[in-house]
């Protein structure tokens, strides 16, 4: 454990191969295989707000700054993931709990061969969901502790994940009245439901004068109730994903959860858009640029999605200042 005066809690390179996670210069770094060429790659940096303590424990790389904690992990390509996914998540949840950062507010899962079957004939996404659900049931049994998440494909094999957590009392899970909570999907989508909330609201710390409320929006697709709609129509799926986010962030939905803070598609400051077919990116790009404010930072990635019929999925961060 080295105390380091560095400006980042975690660095994720969206790049042409998987690597890590490792600690480099005191900062957790994870390379994920999400880009076809280095030209398309980009780096995501989660800034620290104080002195960073970082380390590695049972394969999970982590860092904390007194306010937030970052964890990253990697599951090597395997015939089945249920056990490695459960172990990796249980380790991360255990590290967070022992350091006092109990409230996970955002998780990214990038899953190689996401729609292929594992050695037992279970789709790899469903296999992963089983292990993740078992870890949350064991370590964080309250539905209020379910984080916002994305679960998308990757270009390489194996599964990488990274997450952010806060000290207790700042997070609220948000659901969408148009969608069944993912953790209550019927069993036809897999033996264990996906463990994620549609969004998480993060309050500013009491010590933060004029701090902004933020909403971390999960990967959002053309799902109503629990069903995928507009099969084969990427434009309609994209419009419905945007409409789902608009409903999620509608003022009435925010107040229904007892919250104030950012509302509406106009509050989306960052968006990331996952597109299954490379050829669909120009159309999806145009629709997203029409829907979000000009200042929204939007990135596009060409990867598979967690249901074979889904062609597009959109996530982002909303804040009101
Ligand atoms: C859905 O609504 C689309 O498994 O963590 C979106 C966000 C999706 C997160 C996850 C999956 C996940 O079910 C898929």
- What string of pLDDT tens digits covers the 321 residues of the chain? 445 555 899 999 999 999 999 999 999 999 999 999 988 899 999 999 999 999 999 999 999 999 999 999 999 999 999 999 999 999 999 999 999 999 999 999 999 999 999 999 999 999 999 999 999 999 988 888 899 999 999 999 999 999 999 999 999 999 999 999 999 999 999 999 999 999 999 999 988 877 889 999 999 999 999 999 999 999 999 999 999 999 999 999 999 999 988 889 999 999 999 999 999 999 999 999 999 999 999 999 999 999 999 999 999 999 986
Contact at 8 Å (CB) between 111 and 184? no
User: How is residue 305 written in tokens?
Assistant: 């999605």
Instruction: Report which DSSP code applies to 7.
Output: S
Distance in angstroms (rounded) separating the CA atoms of residues 54 and 4 = 8
Q: Does 157 qualify as catalytic in the annotation? A: no
21 preceded by a cis bond (ω within 30 of 0) = yes
Q: What are the structural domains of the chain?
A: 2-319 (3.30.1330.40)
By residue count, the chain amounts to 321
Percent composition of the chain: helix, strand, coil (DSSP 3-state, to 5): 25, 40, 35
Tokens read off for 170: 């700042």
The model's pTM is 0.96
DSSP class of 23: E
- Ligand 1 centre to CA of 194 (Å) is 7
Report whether 211 contacts 319 (CB < 8 A).
no
Lining residues, ligand 1, CB within 6 Å = 109, 149-151, 182, 194, 196, 218-219, 221, 223, 306
CA 26 to centroid of ligand 1, rounded, Å:
32
CA distance 59 to 21: 8
């Amino acid at each position: 454990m080295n105390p380091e005066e560095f400006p980042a809690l975690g660095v994720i390179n969206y790049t042409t191969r998987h690597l890590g996670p490792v600690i480099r210069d005191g900062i957790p770094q994870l390379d994920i295989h999400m880009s076809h060429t280095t030209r398309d790659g980009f780096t995501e940096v989660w800034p620290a707000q104080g002195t960073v303590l970082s380390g590695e424990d049972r394969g999970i790389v982590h860092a904390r700054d007194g306010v937030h904690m970052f964890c990253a992990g990697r599951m090597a390509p395997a015939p089945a993931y249920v056990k490695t996914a459960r172990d990796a998540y249980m380790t991360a949840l255990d590290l967070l709990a022992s350091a006092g950062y109990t409230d996970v507010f955002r998780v990214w899962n990038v899953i190689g061969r996401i729609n292929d079957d594992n050695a037992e004939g279970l789709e790899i996404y469903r296999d992963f969901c089983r292990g993740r659900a078992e870890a949350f049931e064991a370590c964080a049994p309250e539905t209020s502790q379910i984080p916002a998440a994305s679960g998308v494909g990757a270009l390489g094999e194996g599964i990488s994940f990274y997450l952010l957590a806060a000290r207790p009392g700042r997070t609220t899970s948000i659901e969408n009245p148009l969608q069944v909570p993912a953790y209550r999907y019927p069993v036809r989508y897999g033996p264990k439901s996906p463990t994620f909330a549609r969004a998480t609201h993060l309050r500013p710390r009491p010590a933060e004068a004029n701090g902004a409320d933020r909403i971390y929006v999960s990967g959002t697709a053309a799902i109503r109730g629990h069903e995928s709609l507009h099969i084969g129509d990427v434009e309609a799926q994209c419009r419905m994903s945007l409409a789902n986010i608009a409903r999620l962030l509608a003022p009435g939905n925010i107040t229904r959860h007892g919250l104030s803070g950012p509302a509406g598609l106009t509050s989306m400051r960052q968006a990331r858009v996952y597109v299954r077919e490379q050829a669909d990116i120009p159309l999806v790009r145009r629709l997203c640029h029409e829907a979000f404010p000009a200042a929204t930072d939007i990135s596009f990635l060409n990867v598979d999605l967690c249901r074979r019929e889904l062609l597009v999925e959109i996530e982002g961060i909303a804040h009101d200042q």
